[in-house]
Amino acid sequence: MREVVAIVTGASSGIGAAVVRRLRADGAEVVAAGRRGDLLDALAAECGARPVLCDVRDERDVQALVQRANSLGPPLGILVNAAGIVCNDDVGTIDTATWNDVMDTNLCGTMRVCRAAIPLLQRAGNGSIVNVASVAAFNGSEGMATYSASKAGVVALTRSIANRYGPFGVRANCLCPGWVRTPMSEAEVRQMAVERSVREEEVWKSLSGQIGLGRIGTSEEIAACVRFLASDESSFVSGAVLVADGAARTPARTRAF
């Protein structure tokens, strides 16, 4: 990978942290942004990333994040938006405050970071944006109304960026993971287990049975997909949506039980 600075949001844990490790292993200077300072510091000690506390809902935090990346010397060449939260609701039960918080984090947060970083990516002349959405953007699953809507917005936003800023050398792609074992998905499974009065491992087993490959994905596998989309190996790929779900969307069912 060429000498560049990369920004990764949602880097405190899960997919974001795995992306930071992967890009650092490839030689990129990585600014790891998140809301958990303790986890960011531990990640920095492990792999040499530059930790920055950042809430993507806060415009001042976002501006400070991009300024930090710009101060490091090499050009900002990679932006990975992995910050996100999840909730369980349906249209008839949506709480407005929750809807606003999920949208502000998942969709508006992605927009804010892209908006702040695009001038620097244009200046580099070879910038790559990878926005992490979800297969929920396409699956109208029960209990996923707000989350699905936010992730569908991320897909549409990414395609708009690709179209508008392609002439300036900026590529934008969207990665849509399925079930990946992360702290966020583990919290989902705990809730599902309580609702169904079963053990958590029974939920994981049921979910695995609905995936073509017969297993849950890992953060490292998703990070490998991000690395491809961020690198020059995908130099003619822009406006694309890469689904990494182990063939979970082939059957009709997408939720446990």
Alpha carbon distance 16, 27 (integer Å)? 17
Single out the residue of 177, 181, 176 nearest to residue 204, CA to CA: 181
Alpha carbon distance 56, 39 (integer Å)? 17
| Cα 39 → chain centroid | 17
Could you list the active site residues? 147
| Cα 186 → chain centroid | 16
Q: Which letter does DSSP use for residue 245 in this model? A: S
Burial-class residue 240 by CB neighbours within 10 Å (0-12, 13-18, 19+): middle
Single out the residue of 71, 56, 20 nearest to residue 230, CA to CA: 20
Single out the residue of 255, 257, 256, 1 nearest to residue 128, CA to CA: 1
